Chain A
């Protein structure tokens, strides 16, 4: 029951974040949505995900607030609204129709088809010796996935540093300094 209340709160928060005129209020509402998502993970008995979601949400909130606080970003609401709305409605209707037919085939929420996962749950403690089954899955059984995820994060950091680096080519009428 509390999950549905939190889901409705998250949807309202997401709509409010779009409709806000002020950028900093919008960022704060996004933070509230992330906090509600963290509580949903906690209610669904996934504390690993709840901790990770909470700390990543805090970090993103700090970065967004520091990035949007002093800058006067352009906020455009005009433009090709008819074309944008038509494209959005067409895609939403298409995915709703496809999802209506596809989601019948899935198992019900909370009753998964346990074939591979049952082996992990049975043999996780004896094969790896880790009491936390999530750690035994992501770092032993499926560690190759974790290596790929670490590679993605490393590439993201290197990409950001390469785009925003101080040395290198810059435009003639552009100067780069450091904030406090």
Chain B
């Protein structure tokens, strides 16, 4: 219940209309991003697009409620952790191919039935790793570019 104090704070962020619409839609946006990345090997989409949509849902919270509400859900340290963890996980999946012979080997023995969620070997795992990296990285770029401001006293 500690995070709700940012949601019902009237002094920060945009107007009441924007806040109400955001409260209704932001969960759907996050769910759509997760759907896009998990079905990347079955339908159009993939890790990159899913990661960008997940980052956009957190940016949506930040634009509507102010920066404290967004940082209470995904802090800067958590974003930095997921950025590094996603990159290392992608590299680890690539390196695990060496137990069968070469880089990026699709090392599962049974690929599964096509058009199912659990199929295609390492491709869903790569999608999840890429989406973590892209989502956390683009959220960090947004935070860095928008929040920081430079003042010059001389001018």
Instruction: Tell me the A residues contacting B by CB distance below 8 Å.
Output: 47-48, 50-52, 55-56, 58-59, 62-63, 66-67, 125, 127-132, 134-136, 138-140, 143-144, 146-147, 150-151, 153-154, 156-157, 160-161, 164, 166, 173-180
Interface centre among A48, A140, A150 (most CB of B within 10 A): A150
What is the distance, in angstroms, from B116's C-beta to the closest C-beta of chain A? 9
Name the residue of chain A whose CB is nearest to the CB of B90: A150
A139 to B137, CA, bound (A): 20
B149 an interface residue at 8 Å Cβ cutoff?
yes
Instruction: Tell me the B residues contacting A by CB distance below 8 Å.
Output: 12, 36, 40-46, 48-49, 52-53, 55-56, 59, 63, 66-67, 83, 87, 90-91, 94, 103-104, 106, 111-112, 114-115, 119-123, 126-127, 130, 133-134, 137-138, 140-142, 144-154
A153 to B55, CA, bound (A): 15
Q: List 8 A-B contacts (CB under 8 A).
A: A48-B45, A52-B46, A52-B48, A67-B145, A135-B120, A144-B104, A160-B145, A174-B152
Q: Point out the residue from B40, B52, B130, B151 that lies within 8 Å of A59, measured CB to CB.
A: B52
Please indicate the chain A residues that have their CB under 8 angstroms from the CB of B152 in the complex: 173-174
A160 to B10, CA, bound (A): 33
Q: Point out the residue from B106, B141, B147 that lies within 8 Å of A178, measured CB to CB.
A: B147
A143 to B130, CA, bound (A): 12
Please indicate the chain B residues that have their CB under 8 angstroms from the CB of A147 in the complex: 90-91, 94, 104
Q: Are B115 and A131 in contact (CB under 8 A)?
A: yes
Given contacts A153-B133, A173-B153, contact A52 B59 (CB under 8 A): no
Which DSSP category, helix, strand, loop or mixed, fits chain A's interface?
helix
What is the distance, in angstroms, from B136's C-beta to the closest C-beta of chain A? 8
What is the distance, in angstroms, from A41's C-beta to the closest C-beta of chain B? 11
A144 to B93, CA, bound (A): 12
Please indicate the chain A residues that have their CB under 8 angstroms from the CB of B43 in the complex: 131-132
A178 to B144, CA, bound (A): 10
Q: Are A164 and B140 in contact (CB under 8 A)?
A: no
Q: Are A130 and B41 in contact (CB under 8 A)?
A: yes
Name the residue of chain B whose CB is nearest to the CB of A141: B104
Please indicate the chain A residues that have their CB under 8 angstroms from the CB of B41 in the complex: 130-132, 135-136, 139
A160 to B143, CA, bound (A): 11
Please indicate the chain B residues that have their CB under 8 angstroms from the CB of A132 in the complex: 40-44, 46
Name the residue of chain A whose CB is nearest to the CB of B136: A157
Name the residue of chain A whose CB is nearest to the CB of B133: A150
The 10 A-B pairs at the shortest CB distance, nearest first, are namely: A129-B111, A130-B120, A47-B44, A130-B41, A143-B104, A157-B137, A55-B52, A129-B120, A135-B41, A66-B146
Please indicate the chain B residues that have their CB under 8 angstroms from the CB of A176 in the complex: 148-151
Q: Are B145 and A143 in contact (CB under 8 A)?
A: no
Q: Are B42 and A154 in contact (CB under 8 A)?
A: no
Q: Are B56 and A161 in contact (CB under 8 A)?
A: no
7 further interface pairs, Cβ-Cβ under 8 Å (given A62-B59, A135-B40, A143-B94): A128-B111, A132-B43, A157-B140, A161-B140, A175-B153, A179-B146, A180-B66
A52 to B146, CA, bound (A): 22
A71 to B80, CA, bound (A): 28
